[in-house]
Amino acid sequence: MNLSKFGKKFTAESGILQLMDDLGRALAEGEDTLMLGGGNPAIIPQVQACLREKAAGILNDPGQFQRLAGNYSPPQGDVEFVAALAGLLNRECGWTIRPENVALTNGSQTAFFYLFNMLAGEFEDGSYKKILLPLAPEYIGYADAGLSGDLFVANRPEIEFIDEHTFKYHIDFDAVNVTDDIAAICVSRPTNPTGNVLTQGEIARLSGLAKEHDIPLIIDNAYGLPFPNIMFTDTGPVWGENIILCMSLSKLGLPGGRTGIVIANEAVISAISAMNAIVSLSPGSMAAVLVEGLVKTGEIMYLSRQVIRPFYQNKLEQAMTWLKDEMGDLDYYAHKPEGTFFLWLWFRGMPITCQALYERLKERGVIIVPGHYFFPGLHEEWQHKHECIRVNYSGEGAVVREGIKIIAEEAKRAYAEG
């Protein structure tokens, strides 16, 4: 098959392809694989019961079922959900957005594909613009989303050592350089893969830089406030006229619903809607219709604050205890876990690469994600990129505990061989 440039780019090997292939195969093959890779949220019984109840109500209401399955939504997304969400955000966050500030997409990955290629890349005047990632590591899904290559430029972080086995990344603002070829600044908050939460001060400085250069600040808020609120530090939600805030229903417990949410000024929302129409006619309605009642009543906030956040916080505390028990005095560090459901582990000075460690773990039935994929736009050589792994701790306790045990064994073996 003779492929176009587009075809070759989007069928080539990539980190996100490896990640989702491992995830799908592990879930299909059953119990023998210890799945500590991927971003699949946990099955939380109280959340599942609530969603099943809402689904049953829709099935018993012909009008609602037709809305869910029998009608196209507008390219902007389901009208009732969009209006309910604008109302919720205004009540909860003190914002003044309108439905015209909200659009849905078929998953957040689609939203970022639209945004990155709409704002950056090749321009009619021959210029070429990029997306600035001021803090690497960053989300694996960004890396190959550009229609053209070399779409990102990234900065190394400053590293703060908190104790003998904990560290935290900070933006090195002295190194952040917003040149004329930067089309937008993008960060995830909380950060996937590290669980880092940029402070209000850091976000304010980034927003100020974006305003100064008349470009948007894109914030990937898939795990953040006000929902699903998988955050373990005291902070607040952020939006402004120059901010494009991207949210999701996946981490609420609906990854199969593939519903991304974009909160932005009307020009951006109009562009997203136009792209939806061309690429997919309209975004899917299933998840939006399913949770619209939860959004309208505010029950989604109760689930986020009282069920989802405590669930993951308990999982995190268990995983950190097991990590300490199994790693012992190994020369490892865990990034301070402030959000998401990932542990970002750094094996400083490990004699093998994180890709080699990934292969060894895979042979033993443990799936993690090697860290070098999480540095899009950071082209310089940096050994740190090859010493880190991402571990999902949201699964069954026995699976996570056994997985951490095997990770520790293989890391110890690697150091011993060095």
CATH among 2.60.120.10, 3.90.1150.10, 3.40.220.10, 3.30.360.10 for 5-47+303-417: 3.90.1150.10
**Which of 15 and 379 is assigned the larger pLDDT?**
379
> 349: how many CB neighbours lie within 10 A of its CB?
10
Closest C-alpha to 342, from 372, 320, 364, 363: 320
**CB of 105 closer than 8 Å to CB of 74:** no
Using the 8-state DSSP alphabet, how is residue 156 labeled? P
Mean pLDDT of 363-373: 95
Amino acid at 296: K
Mean pLDDT of 315-329: 96
Q: What is the pLDDT of residues 184-237, one digit of tens each?
A: 999 999 999 999 999 999 999 999 999 999 999 999 999 999 999 999 999 999
Q: What fold, for 48-300?
A: Aspartate Aminotransferase; domain 2 (3.40.640)
> 209: how many CB neighbours lie within 10 A of its CB?
19
Q: What is the pLDDT of residues 109-124, one digit of tens each?
A: 999 999 999 999 999 9
Intervals of CATH 3.90.1150.10 along the chain: 5-47+303-417
Q: What is the pLDDT of residues 228-254, one digit of tens each?
A: 999 999 999 999 999 999 999 999 999
Q: Max alpha carbon distance in the chain (Å)?
A: 66
Q: Count, in order, helices (H) and strands (E) of the chain.
A: 13, 16
Apex 286 CA angle, 284 and 292, nearest 5: 115
Q: What is the pLDDT of residues 30-89, one digit of tens each?
A: 557 899 998 889 999 999 999 999 999 999 999 999 998 889 999 999 999 999 999 999
The token duo for 183 is: 């089309």
Intervals of CATH 3.40.640.10 along the chain: 48-300
Confidence (pTM): 0.94
